[in-house]
Structure 1
Amino acid sequence: MSASGGTKAIIAALLANLGIAVTKFIAWLLTQSSSMLAESIHSVADSGNQALLLFGGRQARRKATPQHPFGFGRERYVYAFIVSIVLFSVGGLFALYEAWHKFADPHPIDKWQWVPVTVLVVAIILESFSFRTAIVESNLVRGKASWVQFVRRARAPELPVILLEDLGALLGLIFALFGVVLTLITGDGTWDAVGTTAIGILLITIAIVLALETKSLLLGESATLEDQAKIEAAITAGPEVERIIHMKTLHLGPEELLVAAKIAVHGHESAEDIARLINSTESRIREAVPIARVIYLEPDIYHVPAAAEPTPATS
């Protein structure tokens, strides 16, 4: 994923959520609707999350130091994980708390009835534009992967996070509209509490999915299968390399890949020849996969493993 694509989607979501948060808070102050309060806090949490993603991207661009020789690319994973925590606590748990409070005192919306419906409809329209931006930017890098595969396999966290946040925001607005409209029709504030409960469960579910995916990135994931195939083809493309004995890859960040491989070379090669073949092999790898920034190649002589002797038959 290009960093510019992720940043564009983040900024679009941030601007939408800031405007939506203000109007939701005004609607809550006028109507005291629990769904509106839950959605207000949800928008504030989303705005904070997008600010965290932007900050994480900035931190990740710092140059490597002696203490952090591979750089700070994983900062983007760290802040994406923090986003999941914020979404779980500030968004999901608060919504469930507000729903519990509203179930205990299910007062109807008896003033400014048109305000929450208007605000929610406008918010759905604005959030749809933000979601559309995230979809367009994701399609540029998604390839043939399904949306589930894209969220699970993406090595850059920003677009999957924004996609899930925007999807959650849209569904949350629909749940809030459902609760508010039924409260206005029936005069029973319990429906408002039901909508708030649905928002809380939705946000907690999305937060758990994000936490699991970013945890995997934090632990360190290998290159995609497509990139691994390109690297293997680049290594064996030169006649001086007999075969790959073993290879490991690791993402140091969304756009920084470490490649370590033991390669089999011909036994008669001189040290100068081996140095030359390593340099040419590294060039082929970087040409095939530009994000392969750190490459370690270990030359060795490949020995065919001796065939295991057959086990004597026992009577």
Structure 2
Amino acid sequence: MNTGSSKLPIYGALAANLLIAITKFVAAGFTGSSAMISEGIHSVVDTGNQLLILLGLSKSQKPADKKHPFGYGKELYFWSLIVAILLFAIGGGMSLYEGIHHMGQPTEQTDPTWNYGVLAAAFLFEGTSWVIAMKNFLKKKSKLSFWRRIQNSKDPSIFVIILEDSAALLGIIVAFAGVYLGHTYENPMWDGIASITIGGILALVAIFLVIESKGLLLGEGASPLVIDGVKKIFQENASVDSLEEPLTMHFGPHEVLLAVNVQFKTGLSAEEIEHSVDDLETTIKKEFPIIRRIFIEAESISRSIKK
């Protein structure tokens, strides 16, 4: 599995979030801002999440063995589910708690200059990480909308980073608004509201990631584009009479299993059918390199054996 290109946005996000988390907590210590504490927690969770995604990528590349004959590609999907759970429980949960606690026991804030400076730097770093991830995601052209491409993506190492960075940028804007409104109107409740809003954003992103990761773990099929292309290859083969709907399953972002039931034309010998099967497998793997394993059930052969 080629995952080298997928690691670039992860490394960028990891470095950015680690530095940002430190500066946010320093700023929160000087100013007492609840929103800044929530943002610091968010950056710590994001840093840990990127480490987990890297762990998943590493484990997913282990070669197949007797215990796991189809390989370890789904390790990445498992760790992306853990990332979603952590984002919801720690990122969203603690931000909500901090905001509610701050509203119940508001803390008088000092000069917000620290907060503004840190948030500006955080926006710059997060924005850079987001741009890297987006370029990596959009380098393959598609007619689908951006949101549909995110939903159809089978690579958590890309869409997790994009969604986390997007949530981080939105969270920074909310934190800035909370700090600004709190000091402008001398009402610390705005800071607590901002913290609760940040928690809500993280919880929504986490729920989406849980849904996507669950689908991938259960075994999502290949994209309609791949399935239609596979059907076309079979239909254009002179030896094929008809075929049932191909069955596919992702065992990783770049590894798909294909199973298809084919009715070959009558009058073909076993040797001719075998040659056709070899040609079909070669053509499919050349056209769609992500299809690593192909199982073709030849109807005419099966029927002749039963007779």
TM-score by length of 2: 0.94
How do 1:96-107 and structure 2 match up within 5 A?
A: 96-107=96-107
CA contact (8 A) 2:53 2:80 kept: yes
How do 1:96-135 and structure 2 match up within 5 A?
A: 96-110=96-110, 112-135=111-134
Rounded Cα–Cα distance in structure 2 between residues aligned with 1:198 and 1:216: 28
In structure 1, runs of 5+ residues without a counterpart are: 303-315
Q: CA deviation at 1:43?
A: 0.1
* DSSP-derived class of the 2:54 partner: helix
2:193 aligned partner: 194
How do 1:17-166 and structure 2 match up within 5 A?
A: 17-110=17-110, 112-141=111-140, 143-166=142-165
Q: Is 2:171 the counterpart of 1:172?
A: yes
Rounded Cα–Cα distance in structure 1 between residues aligned with 2:132 and 2:245: 41
Q: CA deviation at 1:115?
A: 0.7
TM-score by length of 1: 0.92
How many residue pairs align between the two structures? 301
1:290 aligned partner: 289
> Bigger radius of gyration, 1 or 2?
1
Listed one character per residue, the Cα deviations across residues 69-99 of structure 1 (whole Å, up to 9, x for unaligned) are 0001111111111111011011000000001
- Structure 1 range deviating more: 238-247 or 90-99: 238-247
Q: Is 2:224 the counterpart of 1:261?
A: no
Q: CA deviation at 1:181?
A: 1.3
* DSSP-derived class of the 1:62 partner: coil
One-letter identity of the residue aligned with 1:206:
V
Rounded Cα–Cα distance in structure 2 between residues aligned with 1:196 and 1:14: 23
* DSSP-derived class of the 1:295 partner: strand
Q: CA deviation at 1:141?
A: 2.6
CA contact (8 A) 1:135 1:163 kept: yes
CA RMSD of aligned residues (A): 1.5
Q: CA deviation at 1:35?
A: 0.7
Q: CA deviation at 1:108?
A: 2.2
CA contact (8 A) 2:119 2:172 kept: yes
CA contact (8 A) 2:227 2:246 kept: no
CA contact (8 A) 1:257 1:294 kept: yes
CA contact (8 A) 2:25 2:37 kept: yes
Identity of matched residues, %: 36
Rounded Cα–Cα distance in structure 2 between residues aligned with 1:108 and 1:41: 21
In structure 2, runs of 5+ residues without a counterpart are: 302-307
* DSSP-derived class of the 1:239 partner: coil
Q: CA deviation at 1:142?
A: 5.2
One-letter identity of the residue aligned with 1:5:
S
Rounded Cα–Cα distance in structure 1 between residues aligned with 2:183 and 2:263: 75
